[in-house]
Amino acid sequence: MPELPEVETIARGLRPMLTGRCVVNIPHLAAHLAAHLAPVAPPAGQSILHTLVGREIHGVSRRGKLLFLELAQDEILAFHLRMTGRLGLAPIGMPPGPHVHLLLDLDNGSSLYFQDQRKFGTCALFTPDQLAGWPFFHDLGPEPLGLTPEQFARQIAGKTSRIKALLLDQRIIAGIGNIYADESLFRSRIHPATPANQLTRRHRYQLLAAIQSVLQEAIAAGGSSIRDYRTAAGLVGTFQDTFEVYGRKGLPCKRCNRPLQTTKVAGRTTCFCPSCQAIEGG
């Protein structure tokens, strides 16, 4: 699933190409996608997205793993890419492929496409008030790149849950998924099953610093391309070439050379080094 670095990379790639452009046509909208578009009520007999024709795109932004097109008339088109969703641009007239579910033709001769092989991705049109009231958006935790050590401490204070589970909880911190949780915990030498309330102030500081550096490096590398993820330009990210633990079960630890192991935390496969990542936090 695209995480914060991947969605941020896509947003940065689309921003200069979409800002100021106008939607002139919607030649393709898959039925399964149209069925879940809400909550803005469309005119009778029209899909919600067809109200977008004539709208200018004022900006492209991100919150957690969500990507937003900021539109004229104070509307927001929100995309959640989930497992295999992709956004990109192609010339107008490109026939939809088997996994392209939405095409927005723009006034510069290009077409924004939403591709999603597994059909788990969603998009919805909101007013600002509706977006603020959407539980998934309303409940998002703070952005990790802007967190101070004091704010981070408050987010996990007193919690007995395992720290890896908290990092995956979008209500605690927005945007972190399995890849960057594993990489950050390894970098900070904290075992993923450590109860959060066992982390000392030093451990919390080390973990936040690791989270922020890992995310910044991943953004600079264009994200991690493991299966389906591509940038807005269709390029692969390269951060996967520097993974220290994620997906490396059985391979030698890059610090101590012992084989890396996996366990399950919050239902997710978690890779770690049993030597470098101590249960008490390192």
The CATH number covering residue 64 comes to 3.20.190.10
pTM confidence score = 0.92
Judge if 69 and 156 occupy the same domain.
Answer: no
Q: Are residues 155 and 125 in the same domain?
A: no
Decide if 278 is inside a domain.
no
Helix (H, G, I), strand (E, B) or coil at 110: strand
Active-site entry in 3, 8, 75, 183: 3
H helices present in the chain, as ranges: 4-18, 31-34, 128-133, 135-138, 149-156, 163-168, 178-187, 201-220
Q: How many Å apart are CA 19 and CA 21, to the nearest integer? A: 6
Shared domain check, 152 and 131: no
Q: Select which of 21, 55, 65, 189 is catalytic.
A: 65
Which tokens sit at 185?
Answer: 């915990």
Contact 36, 45 (CB under 8 A): no
Q: Assess if residue 282 is contained within a domain.
A: no
- Decide if 65 is catalytic: yes
Which H or E run contains 85?
Answer: strand 85-91
Residue 205's alpha-carbon distances to 168, 189, 219, 258, in angstroms, are 18, 12, 21, 26
Q: Which residue is listed with tokens 């999603």?
A: 116
- Of 107, 138, 169, the residue at which a domain comes to its end is 138
Q: Which among 27, 96, 268, 274 is annotated as catalytic?
A: 268
Contact indicator for 80, 4 with CB cutoff of 8 Å: no
Instruction: Name the stretches of the chain with pLDDT < 50.
Output: 39-45, 281-282
**Catalytic annotation present for 119:** no
For residue 279, tell me if it sits in a domain.
no
Specify the pairing of strand 66-71 against strand 110-116.
unpaired
Name the CA dihedral angle for 50, 90, 76, 68, rounded to a multiple of 10 degrees.
150
- CA gap 172, 80 in Å, rounded: 18
Q: Are residues 151 and 122 in the same domain?
A: no
The answer on 253 and 187 residing in a single domain is yes
Please report the pLDDT score of residue 278 as a whole number.
84
Q: Which of 2, 5, 144, 192 is catalytic?
A: 2
Total domain count for the chain?
2
Using DSSP's 3-state secondary structure scheme, residue 149 falls into helix
Q: Which of 138, 161, 191 is the last residue of a domain?
A: 138
* Statement to judge: residues 96 and 63 lie in one domain: yes
Pair 130, 170 in one domain: no
Which residue type, as a one-letter code, is found at position 278? A
43 in active site: no
Residue for token pair 């009231």? 133
Look at residue 153 in the predicted model and tell me its pLDDT: 96
Amino acid identity for residue 144 in this structure: P
d(CA 77, CA 131): 10
CA separation, residue 99 to residues 33, 166, 271 (Å): 12, 33, 31
* Residue 187: active-site member: no
Range of the domain at 167: 144-272
Regarding whether 21 and 111 lie in a shared domain, the answer is yes
